Amino acid sequence: MDKARDKSADAVIEEASRWLVRLSAPEVSLKERLEFVAWLKRSPEHLAEYLRMERTWADLGQVDGVMSVAELLAADDRNVIDFDHAPPRPTERPPSKRFGAALAACAVLALAAVLAFQALAPRRYVTEVGEQRTIKLDDGSAVALNTNTELRVDYTDGLRRVNLLQGEALFTVANDPTRPFRVVSDRAVAQAIGTSFVVRRNADDTVVTVLEGQVAVARFDQVEQAGSREIPPEALHLAAGARADVLAQEIHTSAVPNLAAVTAWKSGRLIFEGEALSAVVAEFNRYNEVQLVLEDSTLSNERLSGVFDADKPQALVRFLERANVVEPAQVTAREIILTPRR
């Protein structure tokens, strides 16, 4: 009997360890969270062992409060009743099986409530300057975050909503007719119709570029104030190869001659085709801590075409120097200063 019990205990320890590792992963899905709750409900020993495991790992610096379970229930095991081994405290009566079961059930339900809240609460994803990251959402959609980007994912039963707070992201949307997929960025709302598209939030506008399928684009005030899941009839429907520039009071559309240039950042490249040097410099500065500076405004309208590595602004500088566009650059710890060739 003791060997059987030891074997069962070892299995619980192993399962608790696997859950702790899995729940610490950033891409853990809603399905996995619900499976974890179901595992906890099977036995009070599951809850007790998970709490012990989480506290041990936190003490060792391996995790940082994966689910905040210990804070929820208490900092030690006194809130967990082990039916077979917990001795009574000197000043207490031995707890009855019924009382122990009720307390354990309450603890599991409290934890389940917290997990359900966490599953429905918005999730935030961020990249730093020069960093890129791809995440998979609970519904199977994928989001590639470009440099210096921040977004918040807020899924409900009726709407999949993503708020692009800054930067740029590529969305590949999993089909779900019952829950529209909507990206909100400043004044713009883009709603997918089974598609892949890029949304870039700038200081003065938001640019939506469709790579595959269709996207409905509207101004924020046309959609959000109505509180509807549906895009209004006056929204613009864009097909692959089109882009929309959403301003405060109007939306401009145009064709995109080279879609590869729109997503070249995924492979670390920047592609320019007759771009003004001011725009080229601004683009490089999105990806690098060392900033390019045009010291003279006469350089701003110089036109440039080429393919460059996003993290190598020095390559652009050498190109401009060899083309006799700029003088040898002045380089400091934080800036590369460009002056026109005299």
pLDDT of residue 327: 93
Look-up of token digits 């007790």: 48
- Residue 52 is predicted with a pLDDT of 74
* pLDDT of res. 93: 53
Amino acid 101: pLDDT: 53
pLDDT at residue 110, as a whole number = 53
Q: Give just the sign of the alpha carbon dihedral 194, 198, 202, 204.
A: negative
24 has pLDDT over 80 = no
- Structure confidence at residue 209 as a pLDDT band (50, 70, 90): very high
Hey, which of 47-51, 223-227, 282-286 has the most confident mean pLDDT? Answer: 282-286
* pLDDT single digits (tens) 225-255: 555 677 778 889 999 999 999 998 899 999 9
* Domains, in order of start, for the chain: 2-120 (no CATH), 123-257 (2.60.120.1440), 268-338 (3.55.50.30)
Predicted pLDDT of residue 157: 83
Strand ranges (DSSP E) for the chain?
Answer: 123-126, 133-136, 142-145, 150-155, 160-172, 181-185, 188-201, 206-219, 236-239, 242-246, 251-255, 269-276, 291-294, 303-309, 330-331, 335-338
End-to-end CA, the chain: 92
Convert the pLDDT of each residue in 58-116 to its tens digit.
Answer: 555 444 444 444 433 333 333 333 334 444 545 545 555 555 555 555 555 555 555 55
High-pLDDT (> 90) share of the chain, %: 50
**What is the rounded radius of gyration, in angstroms, for the C-alpha atoms of the chain?**
27
d(CA 244, CA 219) in angstroms, rounded, equals 11
Name which residue leads in pLDDT, 168 or 39.
Answer: 168
How far, in Å, CA of 229 to CA of 234, rounded? 15
Predicted confidence band at 334 (pLDDT cuts at 50, 70, 90)? very high
Indicate the pTM of the whole model: 0.67
Note the pLDDT tens digit of each residue in 121-155.
578 999 999 999 999 998 999 999 999 999 999 98
Q: Where are the alpha helices (DSSP H) in 87-214?
A: 97-120
